[in-house]
Amino acid sequence: MLKIGIGSKTSTGGAVIEGNSGLMFDGLVASSVGHKATCPACKKGIGEIVAVGKRTVTLPAGLAARAGDYVACGCPLGSNTLLGEGTITLGSNSARG
């Protein structure tokens, strides 16, 4: 699974600005669905992360955000997506995306 956390970029040039306090993957504070990200491309300028697809990883603040999820800002739905970085290993399995 690609890491998503505070500072992760979005497809419109924004960034994730909220995460699970104290929960880090390789120095990145992990984010959940419902946390906020910025968007410089729309007037609203900010929105919550919305899950795309099923997932099984739950963090303290909710389901884990992942690459391809979108930001519900003022842009057309699904056009501002999260861009992942690096790969994390959960349990004994390594996954991508």
Q: According to the model, what pLDDT value does residue 96 have?
A: 45
Give yes or no for residue 90 having a pLDDT over 80.
no
Supply 64's token pair. 């884990």
Pull the structure tokens for residue 71: 């930001």
Cβ–Cβ contacts within 10 Å for residue 74, how many? 14
CATH T-level topology, domain 1-89? Tumour Suppressor Smad4 (2.60.200)
Question: In 3D, which of 35, 28, 20, 22 has the Cα closest to residue 2?
Answer: 28
Q: What is the pTM of this model?
A: 0.86
In the chain, where the domains are located: 1-89
Interval 35-84: pLDDT, tens: 999 999 999 999 999 999 998 889 999 999 999 999 999 999 999 999 98
Other C-beta atoms within 10 Å of 11: how many? 17
